[in-house]
Amino acid sequence: MRPEPGRRILIEAGEIRVSEEPEWLAVCRSEDLGEDEVVRFDHGGVVYAVYRTQSGLYATDGICTHNHAYLADGLVMDDIIECPLHQGRFHIPTGKAKSSPACVDLRTYAAREADGNVLIGLSRA
Ligand code: FES
């Protein structure tokens, strides 16, 4: 069995699974995303938000689940992003809605750095 590019075959406890490797896309240069900052990243008609907090690099949906506001215009406070429109808050590492009026969680995505770039890991279609 030969996996398609971007997929790996894993054998665990006698079971064969196909693992999806995310597609890693460059968001910005590492020096352009400072601590407690967030940047907007658009790809495939979807808006993402990519953060550097004191605890690491993270990525979430880029539009608030309460209404249509770009989270990259919001305020990063430790591991919290505050929406610029109605000040709803989300926990960045988990995407959990933390304060009203935001009550629906954000999706989260993998993020890392390589070769001086900030990368987001998105599932392959
Ligand atoms: Fe984000 Fe309302 S649009 S809290």
Angle subtended at Cα 96 by Cα 123 and Cα 71, rounded to the nearest 5 degrees: 75
pLDDT tens by residue, 91-118: 999 999 999 999 999 999 999 999 999 9
Please tell me the distance from the alpha carbon of residue 58 to that of residue 53, in angstroms, as a whole number. 8
**Which of 86, 90, 104 should be mutated for ligand 1, with most atoms under 8 A from CB?**
86
Establish whether residue 67 lines the binding site of ligand 1, counting it when its CB lies within 6 angstroms of any ligand atom: yes
From ligand 1's centre to the CA of 59, what distance in Å?
18
pLDDT at site 75: 98
Which pTM value belongs to this model?
0.86
Asked if the model's pLDDT at residue 5 lies above 60, the reply is: no
pLDDT tens by residue, 40-81: 999 999 999 999 999 999 999 999 999 999 999 999 999 999
Tell me the domains of the chain and their CATH numbers.
Answer: 22-122 (2.102.10.10)
Q: In this structure, are residues 87 and 63 in contact, taking their beta carbons and an 8 Å threshold?
A: no
Q: Provide the pLDDT confidence category of residue 125 given band limits of 50, 70 and 90.
A: low
Q: How many CB atoms lie within 10 A of CB 112?
A: 14
Please tell me the distance from the alpha carbon of residue 68 to that of residue 57, in angstroms, as a whole number. 24
